[in-house]
Structure 1
């Protein structure tokens, strides 16, 4: 019975893809009047949402720059104060800004210092902030899922964490291996030996490949690693209330600033055990070694993630790398592992939201996580590898059905263990009155939030599959069908053409054509904001030289946008949606990434 009730929700994604394609020729032929009205509504709503995203992206970009500059300013001031004390109150011998991490072996490019207000109030605020940044209370467990990744890449990713100041006392690495990977044992042993003295604990988990009902992928690996890693930490006497889990990709370059901002946000939050901490994603590690279309795809992907984070109600979705408390992970039963949870980052936020009756929220951490673009030998091979990755990413469309089912109350509670429920209630009652909060979220506010979550999930997955077809082809094809270039290809009789026979529909047609002209403008605005942000992050956070960052020459990358949009968005998203009709078991293919420890530009600068 439950499967029959779930079935209509499973049809939403494939029907959106099929209808958007069929409307292109059939709309002008069969329902031209309704089709015109539909196009007007669709394009107007699309333009509004994209303009809204530009403003949200600008807010996120501004907050990222403020966070980076505050971090640099605090450390510059702290360094200058220390130098003055060493010199007996004299001038500092060095004007170069202090690095948030241990001094690298490569040359530093100093960040321009902001003017520092030396009044007492400002200094007191800065001292308070520094104390928050230096908080050693938390234990950070970094889950690093991987499958067939180069050992050098994993070593570099973990080495960046080892360079953080509190790594030996407050960091736990959970290296999540897959049993199906040939030769994972020597790789895990080598990394364990390499980092044996670098962290509080270094835990290796091995996810079996034959668990019934599981779908292969990052989510199932993270779920196994989190359960077993957390159990081992508890055996070592770690207080679960102090543990913050961070899910990391194998190529995630996590700055120390991210960890400190998570701690600061957690400390200052009213309900920290209901928060997921989501940073922006950023691609600059090997961006100049991949085709422009690959580079532009990841830039636009990064921009979409950033705009999503600036939500006043805390309803946003993490991507790739994110953090949450062990308390929250236990409360919701850790990560799901079935085929409907393939997009484990968005799915975990959705699961937390619905399993806590709308209490869970996403807290933005305005510190970008630097990732690696897909890279292989050869131009066409690299394009194909990125296409394969895009197909895997868009399989996350499974969350559409999950979200609609959950909002309708058709999912079952996975937390059936009464003992665990009692423990969780004991933990959370020290932080708020759970009963009052639960009753509050049974109010219309909770229903509004559920509708907002559904709208955001539908936008995230339905816009890619529909906009590519309708934006590029709807107006030109309708123009061709209703106003053919020659009578020999005429399909519609002029007497049946509503644009010719009605002033109202002629006006609608003109408005639709005008709106389509403005549709790309929000994207142009987003990219212009991104260009400035990219330079800021590269030079002020990763301390790269101007030659290592984007320049005016990269404007020519934009020529590849149409190719990137069709090859890495419209086509793979359409395939992913239509596949929901029969839910095949896909082979999990890891995106190939080259890695050279010596040539990675920011390997020591984060």
Structure 2
């Protein structure tokens, strides 16, 4: 352990934290950056790239205030201002991150920083990044066969204000966290980062930084997909098993808080654009002659990986939009069709109904009904594991008292799961999928996050 810590203290790597934000409370940004300033190597190895939006009223004063507050806390503190009128761009986190990365990397190189030493970490404005994450990131980077082809992804965690939001909001984010953790377990490195993640400057430059068009709304998943396809399958996702603590969407008032989470869910599910992007790049016509040649001679393993990544993207975006309707409507609808309440609405004549005339199909129908009852059980098992993990992380990593973490009383939160599933998954994902058919660019609305600076 002492040798490991000594290696970290003598690190030669430069960590550039890109903090994109738009209309976020200054107190929240100060708290997020202050947590990084408390790391032991912050003054010698950390660079903050504060990514502001030109369209935000008062962004300049906010940036100057933060730069002055942290002027002696980091190796460099760089502020970028993303213009609002760049042709062809879709407003959102992706375009802001792309601009900040390009400008920030150019500025670091101008100041004499070696690009091969730089690791870019994309942080949300509310990401609480522990020092252990940076330590484990460096450990993975130094042990990797080729660290310049890896995206480093931690699990996400919601524990900063979880007891200040409605149970349905709390359960939505808990379920989201559990799914992200499950996604990171892929042994082939085909997984997707969420919210906060890291990659080398070398890889970011190789793939042309982040995309900024309407196909790249889900910037975290999209960047992994872009790296995978631009490197002919060499780029992989490396999990870093240190959770990043985030803030639940929070506003004043119960119903307004529920609505704010619904708005955030709609924005998240606009990432369905990645379905067409993935299928087009995996099986469509290559954009250049060079990529066409490489596709022709791609190894069988690469084709298997492309198939896997397509399945995982479809899983991430198609299950939310279909599962609710299938679980709650499929069996009742089939019951209505096969066993109508009145002969006038009969679609299938009883004499031709295979379930009534064949023992085999009758047994098959009963099996289908039984399976639908047990479909949620894998999710319940995953959430049971998460419950234990949540309390363990609160206690061991964040040093919270037992009274400050989840307890057996929070098991009653699960009563709100049906509400959370419909309101924050099925309905917003359905809206996003339908809207994608006729409107590829949407207004970017940031979910409100209340922050009590005195309490923090």
Residue 508 of structure 1 and its aligned partner are, at CA, apart by 1.4
Give 1:474's aligned residue: 330
C-alpha separation in 2, matches of 1:575 and 1:411: 31
SS at match of 1:562: helix
Q: Equivalent residue for 1:523?
A: 379
The answer to whether structure 1 residue 270 and structure 2 residue 141 are counterparts is no
Q: CA deviation at 1:493?
A: 2.4
Residue-by-residue CA offset, 1:140-173 (whole Å, 9 max, x unaligned): 0000000000000000000000000000000000
Which of 305, 310, 317 is residue 454 of structure 1 equivalent to?
310
Whole-Å separation in 1 of the counterparts to 2:289 and 2:45: 31
SS in 1 for 2:29: helix
In the alignment, does 2:374 pair up with 1:499? no
Separation in structure 2 between the aligned mates of residue 491 and residue 358 of structure 1, nearest angstrom = 50
Q: Distance in 2 between matches of 1:584 and 1:246?
A: 28
Alignment partners' CA distance in 2, 1:168 and 1:409: 47
Q: 1:212 to 1:415 in 2, by over 3 A?
A: farther
Alignment match, 2:411: 555
**Inter-CA distance 161–142: structure 2 relative to 1 (3 Å threshold):** same
Out of 109, 114, 120, the position equivalent to 1:234 is: 109
| Distance in structure 2 (CA, Å) of the matches to 1:308 and 1:134 | 32
Q: Structure 1 residue 244: deviation in Å?
A: 0.1
> Alignment partner of 1:177: what SS?
strand
Q: CA deviation at 1:501?
A: 1.8
Matched residue SS, 2:262: helix
Query: What is the match of residue 81 of structure 2?
Result: 206
Check conservation: 2:155, 2:177, Cα contact below 8 A: yes
Q: How many residues align?
A: 454
1:388 aligns with 2:244: no
- Compare 490-499 and 547-556 and name the one that shifted more: 490-499
Equivalent-residue separation in structure 2 for 1:479 and 1:140 (angstroms): 58
Is the 2:222–2:274 contact (alpha carbons within 8 Å) kept by the matching residues of 1? Answer: yes
1:135–1:263 Cα contact (<8 Å) kept: no
Q: Is the 8 A contact 1:275 1:324 kept in 2?
A: yes
Q: CA deviation at 1:511?
A: 1.1
Match of 2:193 in 1: 318
Q: Compute the displacement of 1:490 (Å).
A: 4.5
Runs of 5+ consecutive residues of structure 1 not aligned to the other structure: 1-125, 417-437, 601-606
2:22 match: secondary structure: coil
Partner of 1:355: 230
Is the aligned partner of 1:138 residue 2:16? no
- Find runs of 4+ consecutive structure 1 residues off by over 4 angstroms: 413-416, 438-441, 485-491
Question: Contact 1:141/1:171 (CA < 8 Å) preserved in 2?
Answer: yes
TM-score, normalised by the number of residues in structure 1: 0.73
**Contact 2:9–2:41 at 8 Å: present in 1 too?**
no
Larger radius of gyration: 1
2:61 aligns with: 186
Question: Which residue of 130, 133, 154 corresponds with 1:279?
Answer: 154
1:416-435 alignment runs, 5 A limit: none
Q: Is 1:245 the equivalent of 2:120? A: yes
Q: Following the alignment from structure 1 to structure 2, what is the Cα–Cα distance between the partners of residues 415 and 259?
A: 37
**Structure 2 unpaired stretches of 5+:** none
Asked if the contact 1:340/1:398 (under 8 Å) is kept, the reply is: yes
Give the distance between the partners of 2:25 and 2:45, measured in 1 at CA.
Answer: 27
Alignment of 1:285-364 (within 5 A): 285-364=160-239
Deviation of the 1:583 alpha carbon: 2.2
In 1: Cα distance, 2:251 partner to 2:288 partner: 43
Paired residues of 1:248 and 1:320 also in contact (CA < 8 A): yes
Instruction: State the SS of the aligned residue for 1:251.
Output: coil
- Equivalent in the alignment of 1:404: 279
Aligned residues of 1:342 and 1:395 also touching (Cα < 8 A) = yes
Q: Hey, what's the Cα distance between the residues in 2 that align with 1:271 and 1:413? A: 26
- 1 CA distance for matches of 2:34 and 2:371? 50
CA displacement 1:162-197 (0-9 Å, x = unmatched): 000000000000000000001101000100000000
Is the CA contact 1:297–1:568 (under 8 Å) kept in the aligned structure 2?
A: yes
Shift of residue 487, structure 1, vs aligned partner: 5.2
Distance (Å, rounded) in 1 between the aligned partners of 2:284 and 2:418: 40
1:133, distance to aligned residue in structure 2 (A):
3.3
**1:547–1:405 Cα change, 3 Å:** same
Query: Does structure 2 retain, via aligned residues, the 8 Å contact 1:358–1:441?
Result: no
Residue number in structure 2 paired with 1:19: none
SS at match of 2:61: helix
Change (3 A) 1:350 1:567: same
Following superposition, the deviation at residue 537 of structure 1 comes to 0.5
Q: How much is the aligned-residue C-alpha RMSD, in angstroms?
A: 1.8
What do the CA deviations read for 1:450-477 (whole angstroms, capped 9, x no partner)?
A: 1111111011111111111001111122
Q: CA deviation at 1:502?
A: 2.1
Residue aligned with 1:246, SS = strand
- TM-superposed deviation, 1:409: 4.6
Please give the TM-score of this superposition, normalised by the length of structure 2: 0.96
- Residues 280 and 366 of structure 1 are in contact (CA less than 8 Å); yes or no, is this contact kept in structure 2? yes
2:441 paired residue number: 585
Helix, strand or coil: the match of 1:186?
helix
Distance 1:530 1:485, change over 3 A: same
State the alpha-carbon separation in 2 of the partners of residues 471 and 200 from structure 1.
53
Structure 2 Cα separation of the partners of residues 412 and 221 of structure 1: 25
Whole-angstrom CA distance in 1 between matches of 2:395 and 2:43: 28
